[in-house]
Amino acid sequence: MDFFKLGRYFENYKKTDLMIRTYFIAFIFTIGLLSCDTLAKLPTGTGSTSSVTQFEAAQGIKQALDKGVDAGVALLNKPDGFFGNEAYKLFLPPDAQKVVTTLQNLGMGSMVDRAVLQINRAAEDAVGYARPIFADAIKQMTIADAINIIKGPSDAATQYFKQKTTDKLVAAFTPVIKGSLEKFSATKYYSELINTYNNFPTTLKKINPDLTNYVVNQAIGALFDQIAKEEANIRANPVARTTDILKKVFGWAAKSSNY
């Protein structure tokens, strides 16, 4: 047996095998890049020549949410943003509604009015601190989330936002609301109101004077409502798409939904 030839054979075989594996890896890598680029394109309707990447979809959704938050904060974070708005004006919590009639019948209506006014003033003040809280939540949205949202109903982004961030928003917003309630003496006036009622000899069921949770939920609900309205407006109204990415993403979404 010619061991020299056999050695050369194995040496050439190893080189050939190494080349094959190198080319194979390069081929797979190239296909992977092409696949990523293909996957980065959202499906378009028949006849559509434009496409939207996943990154653009995420940008568009985040900008829509940004606009909704900005619109909500601008509307509510001002005098009478809550108090002068029939849709969002805060009254006493449901459990305390019977207090109103009782005290008004006893000539203490001004006490009720003062408490209601300061509760609304506190909410108006507190929503001004909501912007960075919502901004942090928007940053957490993934590209996969954006793809599902862009093809969803008119409030898909808002609903996603609500599902993913409500608990965090409540936790972050609670101390802010509490501080605003104290700043505007709403806690003091409400406690006086409830304690006055609770001290009546005829009062059988005492009312909890804790006001913070009620105002937190009402304020966040009002902001979400404004975000939903702005999202629906951007989806339906081309004029509301004030940036290039909003025009591209939501224009594509509107066109695709018609096919």
Instruction: Give the model confidence (pLDDT) of 156-188 as tens digits.
Output: 988 988 888 888 888 888 999 999 999 999 989
Examine the domain organization and report whether 10 and 96 are in the same domain: no
Examine the domain organization and report whether 5 and 105 are in the same domain: no
In a domain, 248, yes or no: yes
Contact 154, 236 (CB under 8 A): yes
Examine the domain organization and report whether 104 and 64 are in the same domain: yes
Contact 78, 119 (CB under 8 A): no
Examine the domain organization and report whether 134 and 196 are in the same domain: yes
Examine the domain organization and report whether 18 and 75 are in the same domain: no
pLDDT-based confidence at 200, cuts 50/70/90?
confident
- The pTM (predicted TM-score) of the whole model is 0.72
Token pair in block for residue 108: 């203490």
Domain range spanning residue 120?
54-257
Give yes or no for residue 54 having a pLDDT over 70. yes
Count of domains observed in the chain = 2
pLDDT-based confidence at 205, cuts 50/70/90?
low
In a domain, 82, yes or no: yes
Examine the domain organization and report whether 25 and 98 are in the same domain: no
In a domain, 45, yes or no: no
pLDDT computed for residue 175 by the predictor: 92
Examine the domain organization and report whether 234 and 144 are in the same domain: yes
pLDDT computed for residue 78 by the predictor: 95
In a domain, 137, yes or no: yes
pLDDT digits (tens, 9 = 90+) for 110-160: 888 998 999 999 999 999 888 888 888 888 888 888 888 887 888 898 898
In a domain, 48, yes or no: no
Examine the domain organization and report whether 138 and 15 are in the same domain: no
Examine the domain organization and report whether 113 and 219 are in the same domain: yes
In a domain, 44, yes or no: no
pLDDT-based confidence at 97, cuts 50/70/90?
confident
Examine the domain organization and report whether 33 and 60 are in the same domain: no
Examine the domain organization and report whether 17 and 127 are in the same domain: no
In a domain, 47, yes or no: no
In a domain, 242, yes or no: yes
Give yes or no for residue 257 having a pLDDT over 80. no
Examine the domain organization and report whether 124 and 12 are in the same domain: no
